[in-house]
Amino acid sequence: MNEKNERIVLDVAYQPQVRTTRDTKSLMLDVIIALLPAVVVAVWQFGTQPLLMVACSVAAAVFFEWGYRKLLHKDPSIGDLSAVVTGLLLGLSMPSTAQWWMPVVGAFFAIVVVKQLYGGIGKNFLNPALAGRAFLLSSYSLAMGQFAVPNSLKNIVDGVSMATPLSYLYGGGKMPAYFRLSSLFLGNTPGSLAEVSSLILLAGGVYLIARKVISWRIPVSFIGTVFVLTLIFGGGDMSNLDFALYNVCSGALILVAIFMATDYATSPVTKNGQLLYGFGCGAITVLIRYFGGFPEGTTYAVLIMNLCTWAIDKGFHRHQFGVSKEDIAAEKAAKKAAKEAAK
Amino acid sequence: MSQTFKGGVHPDYRKAPEIPVTVITPPAQVVIPMAQHIGAPCQPLVKKGDYVTMGQKIGENPAPVSAPVHASVSGKVVAVEPRPHPLGDMIMSIVIENDYQDTPCTDLAPLDEKQLKDPEAILERIREAGVVGMGGAMFPTAFKIRGGIGKVDKLVINGAECEPYLNGDHLTMLNFPEQLLKGIELVRIASGVEKAYYGIEVNKQDAIDLLNSLHPEKYGIEIVPEAVKYPQGGEKMQVKAVTGREVKPGGLPSGVGANVVSTRTCYAIYQACYEGKPVIERIVTVSGSALKGTVNALTRVGTPFEYLAEQCGGFVKTPRKIVLGGPMMGICATNFAAPTIKGTAGVLFFTEEEDRHVDNPTCIRCGKCIEVCPMNLEPVFMYMYYSKGDFANMEKYHINDCFECGSCAYNCPARMPLTHAFKTAKLMFQAKAAAEKAKEAKK
């Protein structure tokens, strides 16, 4: 053999020898890109306070992820950007009136308790951002339920905080004229930071689906279920169609359906499983909105379905290649015949 | 409309069929391993000091699943000893010192008119010429065709060439279309079927048009355009795309009345029957970032990799891997001195540039492996059970149906070693079955 070649150590790697350029980091980066317009809308409506909130939340999430793994001598994982996504989502689900330290507390719960204690990315069974939000909802329910008047309504509504459209839908009372459907769609409503503009969130969703970060199944079945159920049962003093549309555009439904219910680790991986999961999220959301203690139900609906994910995936085992329906029927018949023959 | 299967990926193809074929000057010494097929290895028929002619049979085994090997150059046998094999290990090989005369061997005469219509004569010739599945599986072709006679009603010719980099099939279609059609006709006659379906991916539209212009129906051939998707060239995917049938788990295509023969194999059969030429050379696509560019090299069997690299312009960067075949299913060679064999469709010299290895891959449960699995498997769960050593659940998730196409691992954003794990698991299942069999035999 050639002497020069003799010194080269060859890598005998497993197949395949080539890989896609898409890695975890690039997927997470796409989620961040899809969320950035929502941050801009939040700044437009609530001033610079949202920026501080989101910055605190992201910084805290990344710090806890880094610190936990450093303390326990585990491989660093902040490079995959998943902690940034969690921080961003948590920050954006806060009301603008919240204190800066609240998302920090939420981020601790989300990153350390929900995510890292179970082994980090891919191993958690609850969506960290939603679990963090649920933690804050139960700990600081007053602060979490106060929504500031957005800049575009400052001339119409007096005071600092105001009720959200969702509270009118179920709390009784006439929907004020300034809560037109179009204003919910464009972003002239109070609410948590990112939920105000449905349009921007849907655009983010389209981007994620186009980039193949998420599939359409969970958001469509989730939002679709809420739409259909509220269309059937109606409520408030408006037509059923209006009621259904108000339901879809309020209460952070679109934010949660696109960005949180689709979280990889906590949603099913099988196609039919994803449809059922989305349906479950939608149905529980509607149940909570009609009968629950507070109107907003998406957070708990998704957390409950997170817990069912494992069972759903088991239930939708894919059909085996090369085995037709007739084969399965024939096998069943043969088993039955054997049983009867044994008798 | 082009036909296809469910799942699959679209890797970066890097095909270069526009680069004409370069004839590689044979090396001063060729190394011809006795095992160039699945089945029983050959016994050497010559000894040190013998003079052999080009195309002379130098190794044979009478077992049914075997194929003889032939000298790819003329010259003197200088060694009959174990040498590095491209698939690893040391294998008995015959080393021939090239006299650069290429004195042809006349043992195999072209078949006459009558023999070209006689299935038995064709099959005998296919075996004698050492034809094996040249798509890479290297299964003895005569045995495969024989096994399908009476069972097979759909003969599928594989022209997908879905692996990135490889151009050999495409160039054969473009350069020898008529010979290729005649070769397919021979396989059709030998298989005893009326019609052969030639599935070609539509990224080879020029070849499809050329073949269609030669009236393939005269030879009993229909060209089936297929979508461009990996692993379209997988045996089961070809059968599915062309016939709509799904090969049964653990079964062969002949179980559902289909047989798949690759393009280059059909051309080798043409050469064997019409020209009396055994399998001693093939187009090998030589590429990878360690080289200047791609070379479509007409290479004699037994050409060592380092010589091949030199002939293709030498290394511009230090290679890190030698990949045999395409990068999706190709495995790595361990030795620069190992030679090309009949099944070597490509030799890729990869550097760090092609490498996307990460040190501690962590599954993020995104399910992108499930989307692309052409066998309807769920790699994310198979891997989970594999890492736990849970055999019952691995079986429940049909791990043995995996044919290691690599689509799941290719598509994995977390870079999990999925295909590698399943390959290992399958071997573990085989070992388990063998152990149980041995236990039973003891009783």
Q: Compute the radius of gyration of chain A from its Cα atoms.
A: 24
Question: Taking chain B, what is the end-to-end CA distance rounded to the nearest angstrom?
Answer: 58
Question: Is A326 near chain B, with CB under 8 Å?
Answer: no
Angstroms from A67 CA to nearest CA on chain B: 19
pLDDT > 80? residue B121: yes
Characterize A58-86 residue by residue with b for buried, 16 or more Cβ atoms within 10 angstroms of its Cβ, and e for exposed. bbbbbbbbeebbeeeeeeebbebbbbbbb
| B329:A270 CB<8 A | no
Bridge partners for B32 per DSSP? B94
Which residue in B has a C-alpha nearest to residue A274's C-alpha? B367
Question: Where does B231-306 show beta strands of DSSP type E?
Answer: 258-262, 281-287, 295-300
Characterize B291-317 residue by residue with b for buried, 16 or more Cβ atoms within 10 angstroms of its Cβ, and e for exposed. beebbbbebbbbbbbbbbbebbeebee
d(CA A43, CA B39): 71
- Residue B157 sits at the vertex; the CA angle it makes with B155 and B162, to the nearest 5 degrees, is 140
Characterize A250-267 residue by residue with b for buried, 16 or more Cβ atoms within 10 angstroms of its Cβ, and e for exposed. bbbbbbbbbbbbbbbbbb
Quick: pLDDT tens for B189-231: 999 999 999 999 999 999 999 999 999 999 999 999 999 999 9
How would you classify residue A239: left for phi > 0, otherwise alpha for psi between -120 and 50, otherwise beta?
beta
Nearest by CB: B336 against A1, A19, A120: A1
pLDDT > 90? residue B351: yes
Question: Is A73 near chain B, with CB under 8 Å?
Answer: no
Which residues are CB-contacts of A311 (< 8 A; sequence separation ≥ 6)?
Answer: none
| A17:B321 CB<8 A | yes
- The Cβ-side half-sphere exposure at B441, using a 13 Å CA radius, reads 6
Question: Is A128 near chain B, with CB under 8 Å?
Answer: no
d(CA B429, CA B208): 42
Quick: pLDDT tens for B374-389: 999 999 999 999 999 9
The pLDDT value given to residue B170: 96
**Could you tell me the pTM of the whole model?**
0.92
The pLDDT value given to residue A2: 62
The pLDDT value given to residue B44: 96
Quick: pLDDT tens for A35-49: 999 999 999 888 888
Tokens 């044994």 found at: A342
**What domains are defined for chain A?**
24-315 (1.10.3430)
Which of A6, A18, A328 would you mutate first to test chain B, the one with the most B CBs within 10 A?
A18
Bridge partners for B44 per DSSP? B59
**Burial class (CB within 10 angstroms; exposed 0-12, middle 13-18, buried 19+) of A291:** exposed
The pLDDT value given to residue A158: 78
Which residues in chain A have their CB less than 8 angstroms from residue B420's CB? 14-15
Distance of CA A42 to the CA centre of its chain: 18
| A323:B249 CB<8 A | yes
Q: How many residues does chain A have?
A: 343
State what percent of residues in chain B have pLDDT above 90: 91
d(CA B15, CA B24): 20
Question: Nearest Cα to A10, choosing from B316, B333, B326, B308?
Answer: B333
Tokens 């049914």 found at: B64
The pLDDT value given to residue A152: 81
Is it true that the peptide bond before B231 is cis, omega within 30 degrees of 0? yes
d(CA B83, CA A215): 52
What is the number of other CB atoms lying within 10 angstroms of the CB of residue A334?
A: 10
Mean of the per-residue pLDDT values for chain B? 94
Characterize B155-194 residue by residue with b for buried, 16 or more Cβ atoms within 10 angstroms of its Cβ, and e for exposed. bbbbbbbbbbbbbbbbbbbbeebebbbbbbbbbbbbbebe
Is the Cβ–Cβ distance between A14 and B328 less than 8 Å? no
**A186-200, B56-70, B239-253, B391-405: least confidently modelled range:** A186-200
The pLDDT value given to residue A184: 80
pLDDT > 60? residue B117: yes
Is the Cβ–Cβ distance between B198 and B222 less than 8 Å? yes
What is the number of other CB atoms lying within 10 angstroms of the CB of residue B440?
A: 8
The pLDDT value given to residue B302: 96
Q: Compute the radius of gyration of chain B from its Cα atoms.
A: 22
| B321:A324 CB<8 A | no
Bridge partners for A300 per DSSP? none
Which residues in chain A have their CB less than 8 angstroms from residue B84's CB? none
Do the strands B295-300 and B21-23 form a parallel or antiparallel pair, or are they unpaired?
Answer: parallel
Q: Give the helix/strand (H/E) hosting B426.
A: helix B418-442
Please name the amino acid found at residue B149.
Answer: I
Interhelix angle for A101-108 vs A128-139, to 10°?
120
Is the Cβ–Cβ distance between B285 and B296 less than 8 Å? yes
Is the Cβ–Cβ distance between B68 and B105 less than 8 Å? no
Bridge partners for B96 per DSSP? B30, B77
| B406:A121 CB<8 A | no
pLDDT > 60? residue B1: no
The pLDDT value given to residue A1: 55
CATH number assigned to the domain covering B115-274: 3.40.50.11540
Quick: pLDDT tens for B69-111: 999 999 999 999 999 999 888 999 999 999 999 999 988 999 9
Is the Cβ–Cβ distance between B230 and B328 less than 8 Å? yes
**Residue scoring higher pLDDT (A180 or B10):** B10
The pLDDT value given to residue A12: 84
Is the Cβ–Cβ distance between A104 and A56 less than 8 Å? yes
* Assigned token pair, B428: 């573990």
Nearest by CB: A5 against B306, B323, B362: B306
Is the Cβ–Cβ distance between A117 and A74 less than 8 Å? no
Nearest by CB: B306 against A1, A264, A321: A1
Q: Give the helix/strand (H/E) hosting B226.
A: strand B221-226
d(CA A17, CA B131): 28
> Band of the pLDDT at B363, cuts 50, 70, 90?
very high
* Assigned token pair, A159: 């005071």
Domain coordinates in residue numbering, chain B: 115-274, 368-442
Task: Report CA torsion sign: B214, B218, B219, B220.
Answer: positive
Tokens 């070209």 found at: B116
Q: Could you read off the pLDDT tens digit of each residue along chain A, which spans 343 residues? A: 566 777 788 888 888 999 999 999 999 999 999 999 999 999 988 888 889 999 999 999 999 999 999 999 999 999 999 999 999 999 999 988 888 999 999 999 999 999 999 999 999 999 999 999 999 998 998 888 888 888 888 878 877 788 888 888 887 678 888 888 888 888 778 888 888 788 999 999 999 999 999 999 999 999 999 999 999 998 877 889 999 999 998 878 999 999 999 999 999 999 999 999 999 999 999 999 999 877 678 999 999 999 999 999 999 888 889 888 888 888 888 888 888 888 7
d(CA B338, CA B333): 8
Quick: pLDDT tens for B256-283: 999 999 999 999 999 999 999 999 999 9
The pLDDT value given to residue B220: 95
Please name the amino acid found at residue A55.
Answer: A
Count chain A–chain B contacts defined by CB atoms under 8 A: 157
Q: Which of residues 262-281 of A touch B (CB under 8 A)?
A: 264-265, 268-270
Q: How many residues does chain B have?
A: 443
